[in-house]
Amino acid sequence: MFGVLRTGVPTTLPDSARRTLTRLRHEEPGSRLALDPDQARRIGPRRAALYLIPARDGICVVHGRNGGCSDDLDAISEHGLIFWVTHDRDQQTERRPMDMYGAVPDGVRTVSAVPSGWSDELVGTNTNKNGYRIRAAGPIRSLIFLGPRGNVTVSRPKRPG
């Protein structure tokens, strides 16, 4: 699913990633996972790195103060793990920067972001050993990539309320 976990060299998590992982261990599903931070892998350059932290029954991805975990191995193998980071409270109407980052399954070479309405320009990035980061100028509706089982479109989750 994530070749970097098989072929990459374990790395020491920086303090910011360690603090995030500590927080994730107290949230669902991270609290149920048997995480192994000693087997963490860094994806990308150190200043903008993603860290994959494996578990026997799931995985966590950490980027600075942000991150998340999943124990849905079927979904991970098809969609990877995607995190949406907004830079203001009302991202749906404001034209503010938005970051998307995450890990994609083996074989994915490019991830593209589909803007929400005000622009039709796709923002793309090449993957780096299963990881990617996209910085868009405004709101993003979804991410698309060609996965191991065909085209994958992952829509941005709706905000509650």
- The whole-model pTM stands at 0.75
**CA distances to 6, 42, 49, 99, 157 from 45, in Å:** 19, 8, 5, 16, 28
What's the pLDDT tens digit per position in 124-143? 676 667 887 777 777 777 88
121, two tokens? 């320009």
Sequence ranges of the domains in the chain: 3-76, 82-155
Residue carrying the six token digits 């060609």: 146
Closest CA to 107 of 125, 130, 73: 130
Question: In whole angstroms, what is the distance from residue 125 CA to residue 33 CA?
Answer: 30
Give average pLDDT by consecutive 10-residue segment, the chain, 161 residues: 84 92 88 91 80 88 85 80 58 60 82 69 69 75 80 70 46
